[in-house]
């Protein structure tokens, strides 16, 4: 699977059951699997903001909207609405590639630290914090240096999974390493008897598809089919 740093897209190879108009699985590489795993690290507030409150199922969208409309007057002096509306993804630093993070804003993915202007040995991640020594605001931004990534083996790739492996991503987002045996077992499990009805299709996966996948993963168990075969997502009551 190839990635494009300029367009932040990856390509997937789909195996489609044309008889039932269903995606059986996608053949994917590291970038796409890293993206899927990164979804688990997104704070709820980020998910709601990405999908927009009006499209959310349930009441969390209303809760998000209440915070947006609430005046800062009602917030504690040491609290900000931005912390709730634009929370930072805790696991963002685990990925070095661009694709897993294309759903998050740059300011949500970046980690910022501050110190006071007198260079006392205190740091904070909130520029409103007060230095215990000189009582000045700890508001001078300093560069954050991430731990060095090992250059031996595959760890230099960053992300979550190894890149020499091809992965099979099922329609319901079950992820397993790809093999001939696993492919045959999947066809048997899906009761596919007419191999002639199977079709391969190469598709691009970028920002738009990522947002659709995020929404579909919260509402459906046929995620890939709903995205790439234009099937409506059934909303459970």
The tokens describing 23, both together, are 């995606």
Q: CA 167 to CA 32: how far, in whole Å? A: 9
Per residue of the chain (237 residues), what is the pLDDT tens digit? 444 344 578 899 999 988 889 999 999 999 899 899 888 888 888 888 888 766 676 787 888 888 888 988 888 877 788 888 877 665 444 444 455 556 665 444 456 788 888 888 888 878 888 999 998 898 888 887 765 544 444 345 677 888 888 999 999 999 988 887 777 777 777 777 777 788 899 999 988 899 899 989 988 899 999 999 876 554 443
Q: CA 56 to CA 49: how far, in whole Å? A: 10
Q: CA 119 to CA 138: how far, in whole Å? A: 9
211's enclosing H/E stretch is: helix 207-217
The reported pLDDT for the residue numbered 4 is 39
Residue-range domain boundaries for the chain: 1-43+88-102+165-237, 111-152
Start-to-end CA distance of the chain, whole Å, equals 37
pTM listed for this prediction: 0.70
Dihedral sign computed on CA atoms, order 119, 124, 127, 129: negative
Q: Tokens 């685990």 label which residue?
A: 94
């Amino acid at each position: 699977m190839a990635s494009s740093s300029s367009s932040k897209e990856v390509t997937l190879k789909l195996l489609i059951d044309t008889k039932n108009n269903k995606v059986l699985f996608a053949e994917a590489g590291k970038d796409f699997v890293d993206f899927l795993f990164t979804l688990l690290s997104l704070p709820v507030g980020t998910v709601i903001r990405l999908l927009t409150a009006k499209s959310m199922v349930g009441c969390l969208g209303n809760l998000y909207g209440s915070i947006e409309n609430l005046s800062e007057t009602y917030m504690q002096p040491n609290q900000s609405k931005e912390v709730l509306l634009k929370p930072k993804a805790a696991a963002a630093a685990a990925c070095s590639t661009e694709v897993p993070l294309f759903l998050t804003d740059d300011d949500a993915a970046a980690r910022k630290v501050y110190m006071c202007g007198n260079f006392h040995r205190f740091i904070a991640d909130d520029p409103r914090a007060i230095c215990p020594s000189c009582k000045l605001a700890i508001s001078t931004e300093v560069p954050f240096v991430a731990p060095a990534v090992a250059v031996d083996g595959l760890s230099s790739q960053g992300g979550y999974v190894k890149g020499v492996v091809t992965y099979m991503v099922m329609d319901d987002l079950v992820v397993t390493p790809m093999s001939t045996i696993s492919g045959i077992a999947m066809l048997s499990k899906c009761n596919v008897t007419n191999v002639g009805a199977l079709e391969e299709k190469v598709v691009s996966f970028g920002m738009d598809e990522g947002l659709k996948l995020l929404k579909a993963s919260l509402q459906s168990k046929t995620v890939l089919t709903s995205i790439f075969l234009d099937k409506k997502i059934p909303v459970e009551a």
